[in-house]
Amino acid sequence: MSQKKVALITGVTGQDGAYLAELLLSKGYEVHGIKRRSSLFNTDRVDHLYQDPHVDNQRFKLHYGDLTDATNLIRIVQETQPDEIYNLGAMSHVAVSFEQPEYAADADGIGTLRLLEAIRILGLQKKTRFYQASTSELYGLVQEIPQKETTPFYPRSPYAVAKMYAYWITVNYREAYGMYACNGILFNHESPLRGETFVTRKITRAIARIALGLQDCLYLGNMSALRDWGHAKDYVEMQWMMLQQDHPEDFVIATGVQYSVRQFVEFAAAELGIEVAFEGEGANEIGRVTKVTGDKAKCKVGEVIVKVDPRYFRPTEVETLLGDPTKAKEKLGWVPKTTLKELVAEMVQSDYTAAKRDSLVKLAGFQAYDYNE
């Protein structure tokens, strides 16, 4: 790269933010990230990228800020003069958005407008390229299978409705002001850095803890939901690619393969030598151990290790998502590098290591961390 590029990432402390910051730093960028003020440290995912602000040539800098506060967004954009902005910050939990609908609209919907306006107010619309973290949740009650860029939207949660506003305001600023602004319509992507309350991480973490005797049962909601799951590390590369094109366009990023939540449980358990069979239906469905092989799992044949808790049902559910990434394949050269089985293996191994550490802590007489939601 001839001149060092500058990127600004909102949501840098989240799963994607951490992988993207790592990627951009490896490409020689100066990376600025916005982190929220919190009463506890909230930078675990990017601590390995930390650079002492007291030394010269710092290429990774964190700024306090929030998508609900236009004043700080304008100031940070002005100070950093970014070539690229990646708007990854969001209240990203679909189920929680039913509990906090106004906040979701503010942070995820209006927050996007605030950033676009910051670019415009500062006269940076020709310099700064903008990536919006759009989502397969826009398809909600699906109108077409598989879903592609032209499939009509039908959002099914306050989160998805907020993201729909963000999607269209991004398109509008592109058309109205000639900005290089684009939407990545990303299907679910996971990793060992995934938040613990999203279903994949909840499963891999619980299976590891059940195998080691730290937890008895995993409580889930709708196990029939179907998702197109990829690896977050692969997906952030496409976020970057979308800002390197000649013209801004919107892209679906997905694997084109779909599995159920129930299958994800089976794959995760199998990683530790546990075979689970499901019986019953709806709120009465359970998952019972039918076979244990190897020495990684302590649980016994016949034990019920998965139960349904209707608390996790959503007022309106997205039952099935399956993406068609043809456009991204053709124009961005997108090829998903990780299969679901590889993704599951990586997540289970990571959570098994963490659970082993908790076992040792418990063995030494200390209380092991035990929060399950």
Interface ranges with ligand GDR (CB under 6 A): 92, 94-95, 135-137, 187-188, 197-199, 202, 220-222, 225, 227, 261, 312, 314, 317-318
Q: Is 137 a catalytic residue?
A: yes
Strand intervals (E) in 236-357: 251-253, 259-260, 274-279, 286-292, 304-308
Burial class (CB in 10 A: 0-12, 13-18, 19+), 287: buried
Rule CB under 6 A: say whether 296 interacts with ligand NDP: no
Calculate helix-pair angle for 15-26, 232-242, nearest 10 degrees. 60
d(CA 89, CA 18): 12
Q: Choose the stretch contacting ligand NDP; rule: CB under 6 A; options: 31-39, 170-178, 210-218, 274-282.
A: 31-39
In the window 63-82, what residues touch ligand NDP (CB under 6 A)? 66-68
The two tokens of residue 280 are 């019953």
Structural element, H or E, at residue 226: strand 226-227
Q: Is 159 a catalytic residue?
A: yes
Q: How many CB atoms lie within 10 A of CB 67?
A: 25
Q: How many CB atoms lie within 10 A of CB 222?
A: 19
The two tokens of residue 37 are 């003020």
d(CA 220, CA 286): 10
Q: Which of 159, 173, 259, 352 is catalytic?
A: 159
Size of the site for ligand NDP (CB under 6 A): 26
Which lies closer to ligand GDR via its Cβ, residue 92 or residue 170?
92
Which lies closer to ligand NDP via its Cβ, residue 32 or residue 274?
32
Rule CB under 6 A: say whether 10 interacts with ligand NDP: yes
Which lies closer to ligand GDR via its Cβ, residue 147 or residue 222?
222
Rule CB under 6 A: say whether 169 interacts with ligand NDP: no
Catalytic residues: 135, 137, 159
Contact set with ligand NDP (CB under 6 A) = 10-11, 13-17, 34, 36, 38, 42, 66-68, 88-92, 107, 133, 135, 186, 188-189, 195
